[in-house]
Chains A and B, each alone.
Chain A
């Protein structure tokens, strides 16, 4: 059964204090691993897709990396506007090669203090 575990559940950082969020996953055949940002009361906002171990993607202060068992979202010199819940999700291949729904973790709630 597909499983996604995110840690920590909550993280408080001072502005400029870099850190990493972890996403451990178990999936029968990984088609993609996704990172989303979600602000309170809003829908998830797509950030990155990673497809294979060793892949890295960057966007502004965020960098996502992928291994065969986990993914990290590194936040460099965060600002208060980076405060949000960061969700990790996996998408598995089906036997027929199709891939459908996303399976989400419970997220990491990040607070960046000025």
Chain B
């Protein structure tokens, strides 16, 4: 049983650098979601894809953030010119289009110094 995987699990970067995270969803899931979670808070929605199409973006997703899912399988989330406020856990989830349950990966913890 292969669940959602994310890489890397931890990333430490200096302010102003670019970072990219990868998410591999459950193989038959055609919906993929990105969330961000800070300490003591619940996950907050960033964006989601159905197959390769990015269908919704949150207001939280500034111009420095970009996400792709080029072949409808894995997805990448890039943050350009990182800021200290970007420090958080970035979570990926996937689901089937006709079922609401979302299954989360282990997350990528980003620390911006």
Question: Between A and B, how many residue pairs show CB distances below 8 Å?
Answer: 57
Main secondary structure of the interface of A (DSSP, over half): strand
Residues in A whose Cβ lies below 8 Å from that of B2: none
CA distance A82 to B107 in the complex (A): 21
Q: Digit string of A35-46 for contact with B (CB within 8 Å is 1, else 0)?
A: 010000111111
Residues in B whose Cβ lies below 8 Å from that of A91: 100
A54 to chain B, nearest CB (A): 19
> Is residue B25 contacting chain A, with contact meaning CB distance below 8 A?
no
> Is residue A99 contacting chain B, with contact meaning CB distance below 8 A?
yes
CA distance A1 to B7 in the complex (A): 34
Within 8 A of B (CB), among A62-114: 87, 89, 91, 99-107
Size category of the B interface is 20 to 34
CA distance A87 to B43 in the complex (A): 9
Size category of the A interface is 20 to 34
> Is residue B21 contacting chain A, with contact meaning CB distance below 8 A?
no
Q: A100 to B103, Cβ gap below 8 A?
A: no
Top 9 A-B residue pairs of the complex, sorted by shortest distance between their CB atoms: A104-B42, A101-B45, A43-B104, A32-B100, A44-B104, A43-B107, A43-B106, A104-B43, A43-B105
7 contacts between A and B (CB under 8 A): A34-B100, A36-B104, A41-B109, A43-B91, A91-B100, A101-B58, A102-B33
